[in-house]
Amino acid sequence: MMPIPRCGHPNLGLGVGLRTVHFPYLLQHQPEVDWFEVISENFMDSRGRPRDVLDQLAERYPIVMHGVSLSIGSTDPLNLDYLRKLKSLADAVQAKWVSDHVCWTGVASRNSHDLLPLPYHEQSLQHVVERIRIVQDVLQRQLVLENPSSYVTFTASTMSEAEFVARMAEEADCGLLLDVNNIYVSSINHDFDPFEYLDAIPAHRVVQFHLAGHTNLGTHLIDTHDSHVTDPVWELYRKAHLLTGGASTLLEWDAKIPPFPIVHAEVMKARDYMSSALGSYRSRPANDQLQANSTVPHPATAVFAEVE
């Protein structure tokens, strides 16, 4: 049987990550945007403006929910209260799908609010697969998981991240959110070929792509989401598009966020990379300037009060 592309999900087109600084612009201008992705944790408990804005946008645009605290790889028990809230938000805004990351965020009842990498071996694979099944049962929908950027690897790993992600998706029957920038960032940090990574991913399980900017610190790259997408990442996107036949594509911009039209224009560039001709980033000067400033990797999204 031919596998169904995108696990049966629609290709929503080119979307933008919803950020609070853009709320007034979006409500006032109602721009033509294919879809929005929201950070689940910023809305699941909100009974104020963030939730009201989301409800208004959900009437007009398709919404996808993207979480940062599921902690699918943690050895702490799953937080059922969190999962129930996630489900009720997904139902309320008719989320097209719900995603999170292949990572753990904390253990011993703590949350580092970071996407911490797992060692990739049989034990961690079985652990994650089992937990995905439970989450999918509770949410009553297929989970979509994203490859994170990482800055360490473990000597205990017995397989590559791409192999882990591929086997995880097949065994747990979940979807994948392929963050093309994360693949690139990790490929530099861990010295692997990002194109080979793409080849190892089951293309039909890719439900969505992420694009974002990163910061080059010379010795390593950091996934800062604070600038334009770099050329090598666009070239990877070109190949990912070719392999999958296209999937919903979303731009994340989380720090030094420019006005909405600039963020939107950035994701619209993706159309230029949907042609079949493969470029070669190796022969091209990358727009990847060295940065010396201090940097905070994604995620750092919190919502702050508006006071009269």
Partner 1 sequence: MADQPPQPLDVIQRWMQSVIVHPAGVAAGIDSASHTGEIEQGADRVDELICRSRAQTSIERLEVYSNAYKARLIEVLIGEYPAFVHALGEEAFVGLASGYLEVHPPASYTLGELGRFFADYLLETRPPNESEDGSPDWADFLIDLARLERCYSEVFDGPGIEELPPLDAERFRHLSPEQWITCRLVAAPCLRLAAYRFPVHEYASAVRHQQEPESPIAQVTRLAIHRREYVVRRTTIDAIQFGLLTRLVEGASIGQALEQLIEANSQAVVTADELSAWFRDWAAAGFFIGLAT
Q: List residues binding Fe ion (CB under 5 A).
A: 179, 210
The yes or no reply on residue 75 touching partner 1 (CB under 8 A) is yes
Name the residue among 95, 44, 305 with its Cα closest to residue 208: 95
* Minimum separation from the CB atom of position 292 to partner 1 (A): 14
CB of 182 to Fe ion, least distance (A): 6
Q: What angle do CA 174, 71, 34 make, to 5 degrees?
A: 55
142 makes contact with partner 1 (CB under 8 A): no
Per CB under 8 A, the list member of 140, 282, 290, 306 interacting with partner 1 is: 306
What residues from 175 to 194 belong to the interface with partner 1 (CB under 8 A)? Answer: 189-191
Say if CB 214 and CB 176 are below 8 A apart: no
Structure tokens at 209: 């792509």
From partner 1, Fe ion, none, interface partner of 199 (C-beta below 5 to 8 A by class) = none
Query: Which own/partner pairs from 113-117 qualify as long-range (CB within 8 Å, at least 24 positions apart)?
Result: 113/68, 113/69, 113/299, 113/300, 114/297, 114/299, 115/68, 115/148, 115/149, 115/298, 115/299, 116/73, 117/148, 117/150, 117/151, 117/152, 117/153, 117/154
Task: Determine if 151 is a binding residue for partner 1 (CB under 8 A).
Answer: yes
Distance of CA 155 to the CA centre of its chain: 26
If one asks whether residue 28 binds partner 1 (CB under 8 A), the answer comes out as no
- On the CB side of 107, how many CA atoms lie within 13 Å of its CA? 8
Task: Let me know: does 55 contact 26? Beta carbons within 8 Å.
Answer: no
107 binds partner 1 (CB under 8 A): yes
Task: Report phi then psi at 99, rounded to 5.
Answer: -125, 165
Q: How far is the CB of 23 from partner 1 (least distance, A)?
A: 10
Which of residues 34, 37, 114, 252 is near partner 1 by CB under 8 A? 114
Amino acid at 117: P
Query: Alpha helix locations (H) across 23-99?
Result: 23-29, 49-60, 80-92
By CB atoms closer than 10 A (0-12, 13-18, 19+), residue 238 is buried
Q: With beta carbons less than 8 A apart as the criterion, state whether 297 and 255 touch.
A: no
CB under 5 to 8 A by kind: which of partner 1, Fe ion, none does 275 bind?
none
Q: Binding mask 199-228 vs partner 1 (x if CB under 8 A, - otherwise)?
A: -------------------xxx-x------
Q: Based on CB atoms, which residue is closest to Fe ion, 17 or 62?
A: 17
Tell me which of Fe ion, partner 1, none is bound by residue 210, counting a contact when its beta carbon lies within the kind-specific cut-off of 5 to 8 angstroms: Fe ion
To the nearest whole angstrom, how small is the minimum distance from the Cβ of residue 73 to partner 1? 8
Amino acid at 63: I
Residue 77 interacts with partner 1 (CB under 8 A)? no
Minimum distance of partner 1 from residue 184's CB (angstroms): 15
The interface mask with partner 1, positions 239-278, x = CB under 8 A, is ----------------------------------------
Give contact residues for partner 1 (rule: CB under 8 A): 41-42, 44-50, 52, 69, 73-75, 79, 82, 104, 106-114, 116, 118-119, 121, 123-124, 127, 151-159, 189-191, 218-220, 222, 294, 296-297, 300-308
